[in-house]
Amino acid sequence: MLSRRSLRSWEMTRVASSRSRLDRNGYAPSILQQDECCFLCGRRDRKLDRHEPFGGPYRAKSKADGLWLLLCHYPCHEGPTGAHGSARVNNYLRAYAQGKAMEVFGWSMEEWREHYGKNYL
């Protein structure tokens, strides 16, 4: 388990380098998870999809800011109890991503709204 301090420096390193490290699909390294496993169930043995909690006009921005996570294709991503089928799960992921972004980027609520339009907390 990482200490709070080392977790923070890991995050800062990622953030500092993220803009220049977009992959060819426009993704910066995720600031929401470190492991190559499903964010919701932790499994690694299923097909993993990248999921952006903020869609529409904010999708590209989510990718570039590292606000994406890995979900197993089914059921955690596409299933009826997954991110796209369940409003509860979707809201949970958005709230988590917002909290993490405000912490990692040092944004106030006002700044968050300027970037992503709406408060999900």
Kindly list the residues in this chain that would bind Zn ion in the complex (CB under 5 A): 38, 40-41, 51, 72, 76
How far apart are CB 9 and Zn ion at their closest, in Å? 29
CB of 74 to Zn ion, least distance (A): 8
Quick one: 23 or 110, whose CB is closer to Zn ion?
A: 23
Under 8 Å between Cβ of 54 and 61:
yes
Distance of alpha carbon 114 from the chain centroid: 18
Q: Rounded to whole angstroms, what are the CA distances from 91 to 97, 120, 121?
A: 10, 7, 9
How many residues are listed for the chain in this entry?
A: 121
- Least separation in angstroms between residue 75's CB and Zn ion is 7
Q: Which is nearer to Zn ion, 58 or 107 (CB)?
A: 58
